[in-house]
């Protein structure tokens, strides 16, 4: 090959490499956005890449049976009611599910898919920092014949972070109106999404400390529906264990089941739905191994 031919071939190869790099860093979309993907999948996640990103389908979403979530009937009922209004095209609110860890906040949101997925509900999972891609995501979802929940699990901010100010604008809609087919559902262990201290700001730092505190609390106010999930008492914890055991038809005496479940909770230091599920997973494994 002549030097000129070699140079031309090398330049073409370099151009192909640069094209691939631009796709990887997000300067170009890997492929045009295809909204027909929502016909075949119920759950998605936002995959950010540089200045771009894509809505990627989740082939095997975590399906949750809402009837298995015991002890949180009031919060669960309100969440279903709000989502029913949303899917029906009526007024509905952003939702903040806050409270104790392991009490079913995330499971409640995931459980909406089985109830409302056949009616056009789709869930797009976002990381906290991806919420600031909301205008880009909303632009792709606006006008589509589906209802979208943008789901952010474990949303919270540290005291020194200023990102919460931008999130307030996004939740309110800013200059651009929020698409009527998009809502944000978020979970958090903190009711106000930010740490609260007995002495939040000293007098020497802030002339009006109550205004600084009010600014922080105003973030959670952007969620029109705030649902509290509280620590389970012993009876509620045992009721969850018994319901799981009944569904799996585990051949364990009731008293033995309760005693073992309480010992498990004591060893983990927690009485929650998550603890109950972990106990039942272990128990069902032990029962199966004895039957092999």
The span from the CA of 64 to the CA of 114, in Å, is 8
Q: What is the pTM of this model?
A: 0.76
Indicate the domain borders of the chain.
57-229, 234-291
Contacts of 178 (CB under 8 A, 6+ apart): 138
The span from the CA of 223 to the CA of 94, in Å, is 5
The span from the CA of 128 to the CA of 167, in Å, is 10
Nearest to 238 by CA among 268, 264, 204, 218: 264
Strand-pair partners of 226: 96
Give yes or no for a contact between 70 and 236, defined as CB atoms under 8 angstroms apart: yes
pLDDT in tens, 92-103: 999 999 988 888
Contacts of 244 (CB under 8 A, 6+ apart): 68, 276, 277, 280
Residue range 57-229, CATH number: 3.40.50.300
How many other β-carbons are positioned within 10 Å of the β-carbon of residue 63?
A: 12
pLDDT in tens, 245-287: 999 999 999 999 999 999 999 999 889 999 999 999 999 999 9
pLDDT in tens, 54-93: 899 999 999 999 988 888 999 999 999 999 999 999 999 9
């Amino acid at each position: 090959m002549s030097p000129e031919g070699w140079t031309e071939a090398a330049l073409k190869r370099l151009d192909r490499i640069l094209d691939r790099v631009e796709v990887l860093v997000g300067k170009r979309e890997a492929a045009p956005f295809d909204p027909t993907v929502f016909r075949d999948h119920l759950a998605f996640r936002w995959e950010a890449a540089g200045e771009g990103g894509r809505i990627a389908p989740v082939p095997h979403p975590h399906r949750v049976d809402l009837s298995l979530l015991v002890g949180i009937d009031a919060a669960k009922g309100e969440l279903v009611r709000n989502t029913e209004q949303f899917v029906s095209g009526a007024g509905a609110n952003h939702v903040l599910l806050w409270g104790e860890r392991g009490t079913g906040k995330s499971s409640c949101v995931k459980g909406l898919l089985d109830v409302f997925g056949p009616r056009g509900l789709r869930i797009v999972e976002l990381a906290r920092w991806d919420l600031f891609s909301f205008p880009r995501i909303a632009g792709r979802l606006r006008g589509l014949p589906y209802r979208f929940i943008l789901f952010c699990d474990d949303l919270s901010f540290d005291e020194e972070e200023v990102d919460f100010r931008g999130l307030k604008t996004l939740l309110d809609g800013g200059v651009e109106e929020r698409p009527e087919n998009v809502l944000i559902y978020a979970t958090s262990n903190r009711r106000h999404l930010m740490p609260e201290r007995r002495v939040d700001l000293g007098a020497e730092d802030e002339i009006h400390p109550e205004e600084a505190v009010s600014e922080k609390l105003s973030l959670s106010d952007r969620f029109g529906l705030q649902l509290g999930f509280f620590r389970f008492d012993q009876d509620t914890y045992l009721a969850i264990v018994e319901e799981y055991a009944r569904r799996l038809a585990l051949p364990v005496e009731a008293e033995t089941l309760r005693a073992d479940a309480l010992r498990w909770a004591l060893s983990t230091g927690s009485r929650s739905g998550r603890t109950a599920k972990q106990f039942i997973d272990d128990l069902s494994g032990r029962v199966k191994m004895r039957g092999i």
